Amino acid sequence: MLSSGRSPAPALIFGLIITLGVVVAYSWYVTRQIDGLRALQNNLADRSRKDSLQLLRIQGDLNQLALSMRDMLDNEEPYPLTAWSAEFQRIHRDLDDALRTEAGVAIARSTPAQREYLARSFAQFWNAADRMLALAQSGKDAEARSEIRITLQARQASLSTAVARLLLENNAGEQRAAEQASAIYDRVQHRAYLFLIASLLAIVLTSVYLIYSNRRLFARLAALSSQRSELAQKLISAQELALRHISRELHDEFGQILTAVGSMLGRAERHAADPDTVRAELREVRDIAQNTLENVRSLSQSLHPVMLEEAGLEATLDWYIANLAKQTGMAIHYSKSGAPLAVNGTGAIHIYRIVQEALNNAVRHSGATEAWVRLHSLDERIEMEVEDHGKGIEEQPPRSGIGMVAMRERAELLGGAIEFVRPQGGGTLVRLRVPRGGESHGGA
């Protein structure tokens, strides 16, 4: 049955590969997004700082021009208008440099028309400044001051407004950059949720398939276990039937034959004439027949004790333990407690076989000279213990047969449990627990 089903390993490996692939792909995606976001933030922050500095520089130069023009219009100034020529040239150079630098780092890129307007406005301002300085050099101070009031101050105010507008656009660019960064964060968060859902889905599907595969495997194992248990029950039942048949044949056929032979030899001994040697030989043959009859009866009892059906389990155990101690020379200490047992049928033969197998193991394999058999008849269950202080199960040499397996199967047929433990003093302790009611039928 197990070989007919496909192994779940390929599907589980495939699910693991998919999960790992999703994790790797998402990790790569998150890394790329974070790197891009970091570069964007660093670039925008640096450019915004530089742009703001240049705009403030331009605004400062324009304010310096406004102060210079205010001083030029002040009649109380002792200096001529041409004295501000060097100041205007210095500011002109600084403004040109600031405008070029700002154009390269500006975040909020203005339109060509705006750039053209700004460049034309600065050019017109400097043309007007040159005319004003030319008038001053020619001694026309009144006309030069008029040029300052009418043209230069108006153009300076217009340029200050344009630069202020650029500062506002720069701030707006920073706001858009912040929104863009926030959008990236939101996108990464959204992808994280999708990745979490995909990972959970993959894990759930893999787990469901694993549970389903395990249930199928356990169902197959349970079916095999049921078949094995059923087969063991049939084997044990067939074994008991065979042993019962052989026991009856030995007891009935050979027992009757040997009994008849002994009887005939007894009659022959009584009717035999002298000499005494004939009687002695007939008596010897009769003794041999009697010993053979006892051996056949003992073998019959070992194969299937008729006493179980006639006298019950407790009397059969009394006879078997005493007989085994006499045959093997092992000191077997047998103790009973509780109410007398009333166990018959197949349940009795199963308990008897377990005790028989445990004592045979103690005699043959433990190397011990003593054994203890304890029978406890309780209200709810029957407990049987067979203990020796020999080599123990782990130290005994391996042996053929299915003795311990058969003991477990018989315990299951009784609805009970059997355990093999190592006592504190060493050796082996076989403990059987059978519930009341289970020993009366045995399930065979």
* One domain for residues 432 and 320: yes
* One domain for residues 200 and 315: no
The residues of the chain scoring below 50 in pLDDT are 1-5, 395-401, 444
Residue 13 lies inside a defined structural domain of this protein: yes
Return the bridge partners of 332, or none. Answer: 371
Residue 386 lies inside a defined structural domain of this protein: yes
Question: Which among 210, 241, 263 is the end of a domain?
Answer: 210
- Give me the pLDDT at residue 397, please: 45
Residue 233 lies inside a defined structural domain of this protein: no
Number of structural domains found in the chain: 2
Q: Which of 403, 417, 400 is nearest to 359 (CA)?
A: 403
Specify the amino acid at residue 331: A
Question: Which among 158, 182, 210 is the end of a domain?
Answer: 210
- Give me the pLDDT at residue 399, please: 46
DSSP codes joined into one string, 80-121: -GGGGHHHHHHHHHHHHHHHHHHHHH-SSPPPHHHHHHHHHH
> What is the rounded distance in angstroms from the CA atom of residue 371 to the CA atom of residue 324?
11
Composition of the chain by helix, strand, coil, percent to 5: 75, 10, 15
- Give me the pLDDT at residue 111, please: 66
- Residue 102 backbone dihedrals phi, psi, to 5 degrees: -65, -35
- Give all strands (DSSP E) within 301-404, no chain letters: 331-338, 370-377, 381-388
CATH number, domain with residue 146: 1.20.1330
Structure tokens at 226: 């049921």
- Give me the pLDDT at residue 400, please: 42
Return the bridge partners of 415, or none. Answer: none
CATH number, domain with residue 425: 3.30.565.10
Residue 109 lies inside a defined structural domain of this protein: yes
| Contact call for residues 284 and 269 (beta carbons, < 8 A) | no
- Residue 109 backbone dihedrals phi, psi, to 5 degrees: -70, 120
Residue 209 CB-density burial (10 A; 0-12 exposed, 13-18 middle, 19+ buried): middle
* One domain for residues 205 and 336: no
Residue 427 lies inside a defined structural domain of this protein: yes
* One domain for residues 29 and 176: yes
Residue 401 CB-density burial (10 A; 0-12 exposed, 13-18 middle, 19+ buried): exposed
> What is the rounded distance in angstroms from the CA atom of residue 400 to the CA atom of residue 419?
20
> What is the rounded distance in angstroms from the CA atom of residue 169 to the CA atom of residue 163?
10
| Contact call for residues 427 and 387 (beta carbons, < 8 A) | yes
- Give me the pLDDT at residue 429, please: 92
Instruction: Give the CA radius of gyration of the chain.
Output: 57
* One domain for residues 169 and 311: no
Question: Which among 178, 210, 242 is the end of a domain?
Answer: 210
Q: Which structural domain range is residue 372 located in?
A: 307-440
* One domain for residues 26 and 174: yes
* One domain for residues 194 and 323: no
Query: pLDDT tens-digit profile of 2-24?
Result: 344 466 667 667 767 877 777 77
Residue 1 lies inside a defined structural domain of this protein: no
> What is the rounded distance in angstroms from the CA atom of residue 62 to the CA atom of residue 241?
122
- Give me the pLDDT at residue 291, please: 74
CA dihedral 208, 214, 217, 219 (to 10 degrees): -90
- Give me the pLDDT at residue 396, please: 47
* Residue 334, helix vs strand vs coil: strand
* One domain for residues 191 and 58: yes
Residue 339 lies inside a defined structural domain of this protein: yes
| Contact call for residues 383 and 433 (beta carbons, < 8 A) | yes
> What is the rounded distance in angstroms from the CA atom of residue 209 to the CA atom of residue 14?
12
What's the Cα-to-Cα distance from 212 to each of 19, 208, 215, 217, 414, rounded to whole Å? 19, 6, 5, 9, 33
Residue 35 lies inside a defined structural domain of this protein: yes
* One domain for residues 24 and 165: yes
* One domain for residues 162 and 28: yes
